[in-house]
Chains A and B, each alone.
Chain A
Amino acid sequence: MGQKMDDLSRIPVSHCPKVFVQRDYSNGTQLCFQNKFPQDLDGKIDAATFQETISTLNRMYLEAETLNSKTYCESCMACLTAYLSYICFDTHYEKMLKKIRHYIDEQNQNVYVPRGLMLIDPVERGLRVLEICVLNDSTGGR
């Protein structure tokens, strides 16, 4: 499995056409992507599968950002150590981002790459857009 993931990251993505899913700001600055199915993906993937992925991602981002008792304790503990604890420990958000990266890798592996698409982790684009590469066209062009 690990080796397969390595193969995924070696697919050249800089040449291929891209589809961008923009952020949805209707709930404020909370991290959330638009659930609208982009026209350019028509015929490549069905809308339901795509929207399922997006809403799962949005749910995970929401979990990372909301203030619950666990994150509250984490902030208070850090405050008590004069914020020196951040040097040694991963925060809740960072753990969630790792989980999200894992989820995206898994979705790429099972759903998107077989259909000639590939999701790029939004962290690599500053959490501003979700970039989807259309792989088929690039292999044809090369």
Chain B
Amino acid sequence: MANTKVTHSAQSDSSNGQRSADSNKMQRKWEIHPGRNKFYCNGRCVSSPDYGGFLCCMGLIIVTGGLFFAFDCPYLAVHVNPVIPVIGGLLFIFIIGCLLQTTFIDPGIIPRATLPEALETDRLFQLENQNQENQNGSGYAAPRFKEVEIKGRTFKLSYCQTCQMYRPPRASHCSRCNNCVERFDHHCPMVGNCIGRRNYRYFYLFVTSTAIMCCYVLGCNIAVIVLRAMDTDVGEAFKKSVASLIEGIVCLGSLASVGGLSCYHSMLVAREMTTNEDIKGTYNEKKFKNHTNPYSQGNCIQNCCFVLCSPRLPSLLDRRGFVDPADEENQGVQISNSVRV
């Protein structure tokens, strides 16, 4: 494949040394990814540069879940119903699955413009500006933007200096990962990834199912303590169920943060908005005369279906593709060639 993914100078410096060192070993494209993301499993998994939040989150879930399955479940399965541990187990697997999807898939990173594309954008911009040159002589550093009309409402697409392109509607540049992300929601340090078009669904399900799990575990803890207190006296019951108390405290703490977040995101899903747009007030009637949301599918049920069930989009980064060495060699020629055009 003739792929010209070459827009930065740092890469051509390192490529000279690399070429002599391992000329027979092909480089994968994730190794020369210009953003700050971390890649795992030879480019199969992507996450943001910081994974502390993710480890913390995962540890908390596993420790609390482990205590629940080790101490509460055997008692409840014998004294109440064997279905209780089964439901807990399914919820637990679902939460872990959603968390792994949120953290380790590409959130919708938009690959940077190739050199010819960036030059073309520049050329068009300069052509357009020649007509208005006499109006603003000093306003050279003014932010560039392009106007598009989406279902009757005009939006400004701002130009991203780093990615060298006009950001698609709803996309935003994540300063932490140094990439533009499609349908950017926010950068979540707790799950250790951006939340964007591709993983918003998993993030939402993770938050919501965690809130449900917290309620479930809390309910089980109370049931265990109450049942034990009915068998013996209250002091004895608390002494026997220390694990349940610890779980209860952790769950209450998590519920306080996750519960609110879940409600907030449910509201956003029902309106098909992003956190980013909500903060900027894109659909706020006080800020904009025309405050319709062109991305809304109609009513809240359709919006929920769209966010949760629409086809899973492919990753736009060709992470596992091989770098074509010919492209790098051509780079110098290419610049002079395109400038002449």
Contact = CB atoms under 8 A, between A and B. Distances in A.
Interface of A: 9, 11-15, 17-18, 20, 23, 25-29, 64-67, 71-72, 74-76, 78-79, 81-84, 86, 91-94, 97, 123-129, 131
B151 to A, nearest CB: 6
Instruction: Classify chain B: how many residues form its interface, as a range.
Output: 35 or more
Given A28-B151, A124-B1, A126-B316, A131 B117 contact: yes
7 contacts: A17-B341, A18-B116, A29-B168, A65-B310, A83-B98, A124-B3, A126-B316
B21 interface: no
Nearest to A78: B312
Interface in B259-311: 294-295, 305-306, 308-311
Given A17-B341, A124-B3, A26 B148 contact: yes
B169 A71 contact: no
B4 interface: yes
Interface string B314-325: 101110000000
B59 interface: no
A51 B46 CA distance: 37
Interface string B156-199: 01000000010011100000000000110000000000000000
A124 B318 CA distance: 8
Interface of B: 1-4, 93-94, 96-98, 100-101, 110-111, 113-114, 116-117, 120, 148-151, 155, 157, 165, 168-170, 182-183, 202, 205, 294-295, 305-306, 308-314, 316-318, 326-327, 330, 333-334, 337, 341
A88 B98 CA distance: 16
A13 B317 CA distance: 20
Contacts of B120: 18, 20
Contacts of A97: 314
B236 to A, nearest CB: 39
B110 A71 contact: no
Most buried by A among B155, B311, B312: B311
Contact of A25 (B4, B114, B150): B150
B295 A29 contact: yes
Given A14-B4, A18-B120, A82-B97, A93 B295 contact: no
